[in-house]
Amino acid sequence: MHDVFDPDSARGRVYRFLVAHPHTSVPRLAAGTGLSETAVRAALEELAAEDIAVTADSGKARSRWEAVPPTQVVEALLRRDDVVRTALRRTGTEMERLYRSARRDAGHYEALEVVEDPARVLAVSRQLQQSVRHQLRVIDVPPYSGTTDHYLAQEALQRERMAAGVVYRAIYHGSAFDDPIAWPNMARMIEAGEQARTLDDPPMKLAIRDSDLAVVTLAADDRPGLVSLLVRPSGLFQALSHTFESLWKLAVPVSAAGIGTPIDARDRQILTLMASGATDDAIARHLGLGRRTVVRRVSALLVSLGATTRFQAGVQAARRGWL
C-alpha cells in the first residue's frame, strides 16, 4: 500500500495522476503516466480494492476514475502500520519465549541472559534507548570510561528520545560531579529535561526500559571489560524495579542551574544554618535579617540547588563546594 506515494511505481504514478486530474479516463491515465491501458486498468483495480481510488461513474461503466483524498490514504496507512507493529511485537515476544525455552538448560534462569561480548554490551545500551517508548530509569556509577565523542553521541540520542516524549530518570554517583568529561554532558541533559538525583554510593549500574527489560552492567570477573545481564519480566525484574524506586526516594535532586556560580558570604551563612537545622526565624535572629529576607533567600537557594528540603539543599551545597 505504501507504493501509492512512490512516483516510480505503477500504482504510484496512477494515483499521483488521479490526485492532480479528477475524473480521469483510462486512456488519459495511460497517456499521462506512460503506462499501457492494460497496466493502468490493473493498477486501478488494485487501488480500488484497497479503497485508494474509486470510479467516478454511476453503474458499471467505470470509464472515469477519482482518487481518494491523500489524507485519508495516509491515515489508513498509519492504522495498518499500527496493526502490523502490534502483531510484530506479539510475534517477536512469542519467538523470544521460544528462543529462550529452546536454549534453557538445567540451572539456567529463563528471564536472565548474560552478554559478554564488548561490542554487544555497547550495542545493548544503545538499543535500550532506541526502543524505549515511555520511560528509561538509570543508575549510573563510575568508572566513566567513555570518550567525549561517546558522550556527545549519547547526548544526541537522548535528546531525540526525550523529544519523542520519553521520560528519563537518572540516579548518579556523587563523584560524577568531579568527572570532567561526564559531568558537562549530565548538566546539559538535566537542562534539557532529564530528572536527575544523586546518591553517594549507588549499589549497581542499572538501566530499566519501560516495564519489560532491565540491564545490569558489571565488571567482568575473569578479564578486563564489562558484562551485561539482561533481565526480562520476572521476580528478579520486579526486585530491580523496586530497588530503583527505593533509591530514587533516598536520592537528592540535582539541578544544573547554578553550577560553578559563586555565592556571597551571606548566602553561605544561610546555607550553613539551614544545614544545621535552623528555622527561618532562628536564621533571621542570628544574622540580624528580616524574616521576609531570609524566606526569600532560602527559596532562591532551594531553586538554585534543585532541592525540595533543607537537608537536600545542604547536601547539594556541600557537593558544589559552597560550604
Q: Cα angle vertex 198, ends 194, 202, to 5°? A: 120
Q: Is 235 helix (H, G, I), strand (E, B) or coil?
A: helix
CA distance 294 to 213: 47
**pTM, two decimal places:** 0.53
- Cβ atoms of residues 138 and 217 within 8 Å: no
Q: pLDDT by residue (tens digit) across 219-249? A: 877 777 788 889 998 888 998 999 999 888 8
**Residue appearing with cell numbers 488494485:** 46
Tell me which H or E stretch contains 131: helix 118-131
Burial of 150 (0-12, 13-18, 19+ CB in 10 A): middle
Burial of 182 (0-12, 13-18, 19+ CB in 10 A): buried
CA distance 75 to 72: 5
Q: pLDDT by residue (tens digit) across 144-170? A: 666 677 778 888 999 999 999 999 999
DSSP state of 206: E
CA distance 61 to 67: 17
Q: How far is CA 130 from CA 122, 126, 156, 161, in A?
A: 13, 6, 12, 7
Q: pLDDT by residue (tens digit) across 88-121? A: 777 777 766 666 665 565 555 678 888 888 788 8
